[in-house]
A and B are shown apart, each in its own frame.
Chain A
């Protein structure tokens, strides 16, 4: 339960961090809040040669509303986002999801970008990024690129980030006036990983639903003009399509039932 040995590098700028990451690539892991990485280090699920600490870089602590949405630097903690004045007006979905992300003691250090880069299939923030069709900004010595959420998270703890790339920001599109948002999840204890988490967005006749905790990454579906029992039918099809597994937390059958039940609940909430 103690990490294997590693060298510790604390760069003084983002450019330096990218340089070091380019040098070490797969042998390095980037640490910001460490709330996902340190458990994995402690359990020796990962054994990097080098740890690159970006937690003190002020350049990455920017949280601002831009033309394309709310841009959140890699050093911004979940706790800092939770008390940001723009949270409720611009990111109402995140405002509902954030209290479920770990506990307040882990949100104090855990970062928004870190949770998205960790890419746990049951995590709330990647689910919200997928539903809202946000983007991840990546930088390396080779240049910068923006990757849409649907391409970024590729599977369990697996993303499109190349070994030499640093995720510097995530961008969540700001809420549009005509849209309604809802979030819900089932877990065995508040703050635990969700067994199933769902997020919904409705605008006019268009409904979007994201489901986490069942497939190996958040899955998003869109429907138009769905009403009454047609919603149940669509959710039932989705529940089967996602193909969840039995595990220690729940059976696949129970997960399907949660998709039907929680899916209906959040869709109804957005219709109100």
Chain B
């Protein structure tokens, strides 16, 4: 049985985008804050802190989840992917990022990390989605400055590019 006192900071370690990271956390510290303030991975953004806006969405053990609705101590030992892991090894845009860039699918960009992480799971499960399916998938991410149309277009382009890259890899 693990028993962590509220008054002390506890060692937490997990793999972030394939690299082992560690830090110290009080039991009440949210994973989103741990990522930003302990690890320094500030690509994950914090919006509403109650699971509604989707800005802090990351992949936990391969599935998209709100990092504001998980404690850092719960993530100990997990496999976590964030927006920092989406670019190619040479620093150029990954497929999703490139599609968003080409479609002008962001303005201020605050919601974008969460949307890209949501879509990275969504497009893995559904490589050729309809517009309606994309709209449902995006309902868990709030964007206040685009009209969503560009985001949907970017998602369609990214899906096609991912299918091509998978076919080429075979």
Contacts and interface: CB of A to CB of B under 8 A. Distances in A.
Which of the listed residues B5, B26, B65 has the most CB atoms from chain A within 10 Å of its own CB?
Answer: B65
A105 B68 contact: no
8 contacts: A7-B6, A35-B51, A42-B50, A43-B50, A102-B51, A104-B122, A105-B57, A108-B63
B89 to A, nearest CB: 27
Interface in A25-46: 34-35, 38-39, 41-43
A8 B2 CA distance: 8
A4 interface: yes
Nearest to A49: B6
A51 B70 CA distance: 13
Contact of A6 (B28, B49, B51): B28
Contacts of B30: 2-3, 38, 42
A10 interface: yes
Interface stretch (B92-100, B105-113, B134-142): B134-142
A34 B70 contact: yes
B152 to A, nearest CB: 14
B73 interface: yes
Interface in B13-34: 26-28, 30, 33
A152 to B, nearest CB: 25
Q: Which of B54, B57, B73, B74 has the largest number of chain A CB atoms within 10 A?
A: B74
B131 interface: no
B2 A42 contact: no
B51 A38 contact: yes
B140 A7 contact: no
B140 A16 contact: no
Interface string B25-49: 0111010010000000000000001
A188 to B, nearest CB: 11
Interface in A130-172: none
B1 A12 contact: yes
Interface range, B side: 35 or more
A15 to B, nearest CB: 11
A60 to B, nearest CB: 15
A79 B70 contact: no
B65 A108 contact: yes
B28 A38 contact: no
B136 A190 contact: yes
A78 B40 CA distance: 32
Given A3-B28, A35-B51, A38-B68, A9 B140 contact: no
In the A-B complex, list the 4 residue pairs whose CB atoms are closest, starting with the nearest.
A103-B140, A8-B27, A39-B50, A190-B139
A11 B1 contact: yes
Contact of B70 (A2, A4, A38): A38
Given A38-B71, A43-B50, A190-B135, 12 more contacts: A6-B27, A7-B5, A7-B6, A8-B4, A8-B73, A9-B4, A10-B3, A35-B51, A102-B140, A104-B137, A108-B60, A109-B70
A53 interface: yes
A16 B63 contact: no
B154 interface: no
Given A6-B28, A55-B74, A103 B3 contact: no
Interface in A174-202: 189-191
A8 B140 contact: no
Contacts of B64: 104-105, 108
A9 B54 CA distance: 28
B82 interface: no
A48 to B, nearest CB: 11
A106 B28 CA distance: 20
A45 to B, nearest CB: 10
A105 B140 contact: yes
B168 interface: no
B30 to A, nearest CB: 7
A204 interface: no
Contacts of A109: 60, 63, 65-66, 69-70
Nearest to B4: A8
